[in-house]
Amino acid sequence: MQTAFLALFFFLFAFATAEDTVLDTDGNPVANGSQYYMLPATKETGGGFKFTRTENEKCPLSVVQASSELSKGLPVIISPRQGKDIIPTGWYVDVQFVKAPNCAPKPSVWCVPPDSYSVKIRTDGRFSSDFTIEKASEDGYKFMHCPSHPRSCREIGIVIDEGKNRLLKRGGENPLIVRFKKAKAQN
């Protein structure tokens, strides 16, 4: 009886702690350091992601979604902070554009400054990225921003500003559900 209880306990523990892996559009695990296009999981909801100038920015640091679904946007690199080879769901990750504007710092890591709630390219080391990726549907994932602990997590969504930019924003009106399409490596 005790052996059966221990076996059941270890089985349930292993099942409860198993982590899902983020998969790309081909069903392969999203790999640390590889390049991907982030695309909307549903049709007719815009294209991929890029940077642009918003508000009073002198340098285009705002992360936005392309309005045309024909645009793949710019490739990104996703890296888990714990240094795994693949990206597990629920782990803190850094997201950065492969190419960034000349005026932006390198690497072009995404962050959410507390004064704007919009996703920006980090201009200094003061703001950590604090993103996680969670399974949202059969073939889609959502980005969460968790600045201090899991209970502070909020979905990243899309908000359209006065300039018709589709801003990525913490707690945005329309949750952002994406897929990851492998991109050819760019230097």
pLDDT tens for residues 80-128? 988 789 999 999 999 999 998 899 888 889 999 877 889 999 877 666 6
- Whether 12 is in a domain gets the answer no
The H-or-E segment that residue 50 falls in is strand 49-52
- Whether 87 is in a domain gets the answer yes
Q: What percent of the chain has pLDDT over 90?
A: 57
- Whether 91 is in a domain gets the answer yes
pLDDT at 8 over 60: no
DSSP string, 57-97: -SS--EEEE-SSTT--B--EEEEETT--SB-BTTSEEEEEE
Report the half-sphere exposure of 64 (CA within 13 A, side-chain side): 20
Which pLDDT belongs to residue 9?
37
- Whether 5 is in a domain gets the answer no
Which pLDDT belongs to residue 125?
65
73 close to 38: Cβ distance less than 8 angstroms: yes
Which pLDDT belongs to residue 115?
79
pTM for the whole thing? 0.84
Q: Using pLDDT thresholds of 50, 70 and 90, give the confidence band for residue 10.
A: very low
Q: What tokens appear for 13 in the block?
A: 């523990």
pLDDT at 74 over 50: yes
- Whether 40 is in a domain gets the answer yes
Q: What is the mean pLDDT of the chain?
A: 85
pLDDT tens for residues 129-169? 789 999 999 889 999 998 876 678 899 999 999 889 999 99
Which pLDDT belongs to residue 130?
87
- Whether 112 is in a domain gets the answer yes
Residue span of the structural domain in which 143 resides: 20-182
Return the higher-pLDDT residue of 43 and 17. 43
CATH of residue 69's domain is 2.80.10.50
- Whether 11 is in a domain gets the answer no
Which pLDDT belongs to residue 88?
95
Q: Using pLDDT thresholds of 50, 70 and 90, give the confidence band for residue 175.
A: confident
The set of residues, in sequence order, having a beta carbon less than 8 Å from that of 13 and lying 6+ positions away, is none
pLDDT tens for residues 13-24? 333 334 699 999
- Whether 9 is in a domain gets the answer no
In the chain, the number of structural domains is: 1
Which pLDDT belongs to residue 148?
73
Average pLDDT over residues 13-37: 80
The H-or-E segment that residue 51 falls in is strand 49-52
